[in-house]
Amino acid sequence: MTVWDDLVGQDRVIAQLRSAAVGARGVLAGEESSGGMTHAWLFTGPPGSGRATAARAFAAALQCVSPDLSLGGEPGCGHCDGCHTSLTGTHADVDVVSTELLSIGVKETRDLVRRAALSPAGGRWQVIVLEDADRLTEGAGNVLLKAIEEPAPRTVWMLCAPSVEDALPTIRSRCRHVALRTPPVAAVADMLMRRDGIDPEMASYAARATGGNIDRARRLATDEQARSRRAEVLGLPLQLGDIGSCMAAAQRLVDAAAADAKEITAELDARETEELRNALGANGPGGRLPSGTAGVVKELENRQKKRATRTQRDCLDLALVDLTAFYRDVLTVQLGAPVPLDNEQVRPSVDRVARAGTPEDTLRRIEAILACREAIDANVAPLLAVEAMALTLRAG
Amino acid sequence: MLCVMARKAADDPLAPVTLVVGPEELLVDRAVSAVTRAVRAEDPEADIRDLAPGALQPGMLTELTSPSLFGERKVIVVRAAHDLGTDLVNELKAYLGAPADEVVLVITHLGGPKGKALLDAARKAGAREVACAKVTKAGDRLALVKTEFRTAGRSVTEDAARALVEAVGNDLRELAAACSQLAADTDGVIDEEIVARYYTGRAETSSFDVADKAVEGRAAEALEQLRWALSVGVAPVLVTSALAQGVRNIARLGGAPRGARPGDLARELGMPPWKLDRVRQQMRGWTPDGIVRALQAVAEADAAVKGGGSDPAYALEKAVVTVATVRNT
């Protein structure tokens, strides 16, 4: 076992990071040349390709203290103290930052900059992994610039974003770029079987249906509800008979996303609120809070509300991605392309939609779904955006 | 002492304790000044202490209510009594049990659950109560305008009163000011023409007015309403959401089964029955194709007002015109 095991189908990237980790050892030993190691990295790749996994694995390799190293072994053994704590997120010198909110603001970023100026407690590297670099606000990005350009000697920044364009140009130019590709379906299925013990049939279904997105494939393979939700979404293209049913279908889609999001957040919210109330000294559940603490509770509520918005958008976005995959299959059938369908299990409806329209219609429909995703990202009321999309899907 | 107070408390502005309850500021101020006027009428030398919210400090009440050397009457006005702390509430309660003879105490209170203990205590002690409930109905506002003119010794026509309310808006203080201004500036019966000379336009219009006009296909009126709405500060996002709701209602009602019972339909579409009738009226002339284009235009406008475009007003106008004109295509 090594730290790279969880990185699926990214051989080129693994080779690059491995040699950088070897170079990093040289730097620690006081060698002149850095041998492929540098202080700032930008990991990009489509969702589910394992950006954060790659960054964590690299962090682990940098912190590896395996005894084999002195015998000529490669850093990143996966079972020494350094590797293990880095991967589980408890290493003192590895800071993993991600957000549940819509953006990362200036205030949080200033803390990171302060942290980046510290020397590593373990004497190796101070690693800061910023998982959602695409969610940095412009102001927050600017706060980072100086710290990324000339960090303390042993500080390493690892930023993750879906594409290079998601990072500010000024940040981009200060980082070494690591591009991950969409992992091949077979590799994802193989990983699901190997790591999560999922049976081969389910693994290959989940891997194909999610088009190489590892996180979603795992969720689909392990969660019955995710599968039934997906089936509902894939049924939508056949429900677009008249205007009324389009509107109803749009409403259902948005409601389902809201219900999913609520389920995810409600439990979390209740626990956080209760913990905060206890910390503030409210006497028992539903007891009175001491005066002057209402503001703190309010702040938590605001944060929870922002998280709920984000979660709802994410859920809706997933549904729209599934819908895109459906029309991709329709296009595949219409063009007679010799590639497997993402959604083999709904082939009858794919065929029906394919017969009813032309490839041009399908392309317009895919465009409409993408436009809807963009609109939701730009804060358009979700119901309105989805309704407009459903009506366009119907018209073709 | 209690029974003495109760007897005096009928509707005498000189009652030892007056409780002014409610959020409508104009009425509160009027009630307070009615008391001070009545006291002044009896004793022009009366000492009037109007304590702004937060001005009452612990211990002050005893000082203020203790007999003065010259024995003149005193009015003490405690504003925003719902915000008083426990100590002050206890002081006030103690005073309510034994009011001083030459003092008239006025307590103003929002009337909500906040600081309710004081309210209950004052009521129990038999204080005279003046209700100043929020005026929310258009009819009540009309009545207020008429009363204003009557008090000023003037008569006003029904149409004139309505025009004034429409032009000045819902703020009672502004309405009262407008009434007294008109009464001072003009002679004779106040009719619509006089109101129009001094006040034109509309003070308040909602995003729903815009949406209603737009889906009814009255483009010019919808644009006019939109301009009014934007200039009185209605947020552009409210207009797009009202427009979306308008078009959505038409689309959903259009897609509903023909023979459904109104009650079932209302429940299924989540609209009250009166709304259903209104939407049914508005539905005339809409085609499926029109609905598609209208909804898409609204969605575009929503993106534009939320930062996607440079001019929200233009985006809204474009959406309103599109919605109002596509219905017959």
Residue B202 has pLDDT above 70, yes or no: no
| pLDDT in the model for residue B222 | 92
* A229 belongs to a structural domain: no
* Interchain pair A244, B303: CB under 8 A: no
Stretch B66-86: mean pLDDT, rounded?
81
Residues A170 and A218 both lie in one domain: no
Residues A43 and A68 both lie in one domain: yes
Residues A190 and A313 both lie in one domain: no
Chain B stretch 227-266, residues whose beta carbon is closer than 8 A to a beta carbon of chain A:
240-241, 244, 248, 251-252, 254-256
Provide the number of CB pairs (under 8 Å) joining chain A to chain B. Answer: 69
Q: pLDDT category, B9, cuts 50, 70, 90?
A: very low
| pLDDT in the model for residue A384 | 93
* A105 belongs to a structural domain: yes
| Residue B17, phi then psi, degrees to nearest 5 | -130, 125
In angstroms, the CA B300 to CA B311 distance is 13
All domains in chain B, ordered by first residue: 2-131 (3.40.50.300), 138-199 (1.10.8), 207-328 (1.20.272.10)
Nearest-Cα residue of chain B relative to residue A377:
B303
* A230 belongs to a structural domain: no
Q: How many CA atoms lie within 13 A of B289 on its CB side?
A: 4
Smallest Cα distance from B22 to chain A, Å: 26
Residues A201 and A66 both lie in one domain: no
Q: Say which CATH number the domain at A57 has.
A: 3.40.50.300
Instruction: Give the count of domains, chain A.
Output: 3
Q: pLDDT category, A271, cuts 50, 70, 90?
A: confident
Smallest Cα distance from B59 to chain A, Å: 24
Q: pLDDT category, A370, cuts 50, 70, 90?
A: very high
In angstroms, the CA B302 to CA B244 distance is 9
* A87 belongs to a structural domain: yes
Nearest-Cα residue of chain B relative to residue A381:
B302
From residue B46, how far is each of A345, B38, B64, B255, B295 by CA, in Å? 90, 10, 13, 72, 67
Stretch A44-65: mean pLDDT, rounded?
88
* A6 belongs to a structural domain: no
Q: Where are the beta strands (DSSP E) in B95-170?
A: 103-109, 128-131
* Interchain pair B248, A387: CB under 8 A: yes
Dihedral angle, C-alpha B113, B117, B120, B125, nearest 10 °: -160
What is the total residue count of chain B? 329
* Interchain pair A392, B296: CB under 8 A: yes
Residues A201 and A249 both lie in one domain: no
Residues A205 and A328 both lie in one domain: no
The verdict on ipTM greater than 0.85 is: no
- Stretch among A353-367, B75-89, B214-228 having the lowest mean pLDDT: B75-89
In angstroms, the CA A59 to CA B306 distance is 40
List for chain B the helix, strand, coil content (%; round to 5): 60, 10, 30
Name the residue range of residue A100's domain. Answer: 11-179
* Interchain pair A247, B307: CB under 8 A: no
* Interchain pair A375, B298: CB under 8 A: no
In angstroms, the CA B167 to CA B60 distance is 45
Residues A32 and A52 both lie in one domain: yes
Residues of B in contact with A395 (CB under 8 A): 292
Stretch B139-166: mean pLDDT, rounded?
84
Smallest Cα distance from B77 to chain A, Å: 28
**Domain closes at, from A145, A163, A179:** A179
* Interchain pair B254, A388: CB under 8 A: no
Find where tokens 């041009």 sit. A360
Nearest-Cα residue of chain A relative to residue B250:
A244
Q: Which of B276, B206, B274, B214 is nearest to B243 (CA)?
A: B214
Q: Which of B292, B293, B300 to mutate to test the interface with A (most CBs of A within 10 A)?
A: B292
Chain A stretch 219-248, residues whose beta carbon is closer than 8 A to a beta carbon of chain B:
242-248
Nearest Cβ partner for B306 among A247, A378, A391: A378
Smallest Cα distance from A276 to chain B, Å: 25
**CA–centroid distance for A15 within its chain:** 23
* A125 belongs to a structural domain: yes
Q: Say which CATH number the domain at A277 has.
A: 1.20.272
Nearest Cβ partner for B288 among A243, A385, A392: A243
A379 has a chain B CB within 8 A of its CB: yes
Name the average pLDDT for chain A. 86
Stretch A298-313: mean pLDDT, rounded?
88
Residues A18 and A161 both lie in one domain: yes
CA-based end-to-end distance of chain B: 80
In angstroms, the CA A144 to CA A142 distance is 5
Residues A258 and A371 both lie in one domain: yes
Residues of A in contact with B254 (CB under 8 A): 243-244
Q: pLDDT category, A364, cuts 50, 70, 90?
A: very high
Stretch A305-313: mean pLDDT, rounded?
87
* Interchain pair A244, B244: CB under 8 A: no
Residues A209 and A103 both lie in one domain: no
Smallest Cα distance from A70 to chain B, Å: 58
Residue B5 has pLDDT above 70, yes or no: no
Q: Which amino acid is at B117?
A: A
Find where tokens 């140009």 sit. A169
Q: What is the pLDDT of residues A253-266, one digit of tens each?
A: 999 888 888 888 88
Smallest Cα distance from A259 to chain B, Å: 18
| pLDDT in the model for residue B203 | 66
In angstroms, the CA B129 to CA B13 distance is 10
Nearest-Cα residue of chain A relative to residue B268:
A248
Q: Which amino acid is at A346?
A: V
Q: pLDDT category, B244, cuts 50, 70, 90?
A: very high
Q: What is the pLDDT of residues A192-230, one digit of tens each?
A: 888 888 888 888 888 888 877 888 888 888 888 888 888
Q: Which amino acid is at B230?
A: L
Give the rounded percent of residues in chain B with a pLDDT score beyond 70: 95
* A231 belongs to a structural domain: no
* Interchain pair A385, B299: CB under 8 A: yes
Residues A58 and A174 both lie in one domain: yes
* A166 belongs to a structural domain: yes
Helix (H, G, I), strand (E, B) or coil at B105: strand
* Interchain pair B292, A391: CB under 8 A: yes
Residues A245 and A340 both lie in one domain: yes
Secondary structure, 3-state, A105-165: CHHHHHHHHHHHCCCCCCCCCEEEEECCHHHECHHHHHHHHHHHHCCCCCEEEEEEECCHH
Question: Which distant-in-sequence residues (6+ apart) come within 8 Å of A193 by Cβ?
Answer: A199, A200, A203
